[in-house]
Amino acid sequence: MQAIFETGFDIVYLTTVVLVGIKMIKRSKGRLQYLLYGIMAVTLGFGDAFHLVPRSIALCTTGLGNYTAALGIGKLITSVTMTLFYVLLYYVWRERYKVKDRREMTIVIWLLALSRILLCLMPQNQWISEVPPLSWGIYRNIPFALLGLLIIILFYKSVKENKDKKFQFLWLTIVLSFGFYIPVVLFVDSVPLIGMLMIPKTCAYVWTVMIGYSAMKGEDK
């Protein structure tokens, strides 16, 4: 039952975000914010596929234990692409709200992103181990959480200042995604059922993508 549900859910999720992303790229028509948004959605979908596809195969065949290496490498790739997702979202913010300065903020964003990627690449993560160390799961997610927090603050303030109804809930989607993700990082090894929180976390990312797509469609009318 789990295999059928998860596989079906993942197929719908990956197909949706990639197709929406491609559509946004094609229909951006010189509007940089929507081109970036489309690239962001495609990056999200293809990045998550490296983990979700092996997981679906494992669930439908011989079990997760026989796909430890593939799942671990997939998690590594997903961790990097998720970081790029937020960097792209930062540039969507700059373009949407016509931000021309804030050089210090850009430096902070890139420092956090590169720190996260560097920590993900460290061998101490033991990505292909059956029981990777929790400590490194925490270390690599500290700059990631700070990156997410900055994006939340930037969008929340700009939406209020510009009375941007089309993006009014974008900050909330990021809050939800981290709210569902952090307990998984901390407790999934001791309480496997907590892994189910990845489903609403994924739904929050779909919501993020659809906010940009809906805004673009609204401008196209």
* Mean pLDDT of each 10-residue bin along the chain, 221 residues long: 87 96 95 96 96 92 88 95 97 96 95 98 94 93 97 97 96 96 89 88 96 92 69
pLDDT computed for residue 46 by the predictor: 95
pLDDT computed for residue 63 by the predictor: 84
pLDDT computed for residue 32 by the predictor: 95
149 class by beta-carbon count within 10 Å (0-12 exposed, 13-18 middle, 19+ buried): middle
Helix (H, G, I), strand (E, B) or coil at 182: helix
Joined together, the tokens standing for residue 198 give 């990845």
Quote the number of domains for the chain: 1
- What is this structure's pTM? 0.94
Joined together, the tokens standing for residue 74 give 């997939």
Range(s) of the domain holding residue 31: 2-220
Burial letters 68-83, b for 16+ CB under 10 A, else e = bebbbebbbbbbbbbb
Phi and psi at residue 16, to the nearest 5°: -65, -55
CATH classification of the domain holding 107: 1.20.1070.10
Q: Give dist(CA 39, CA 60) in Å, integer.
A: 31
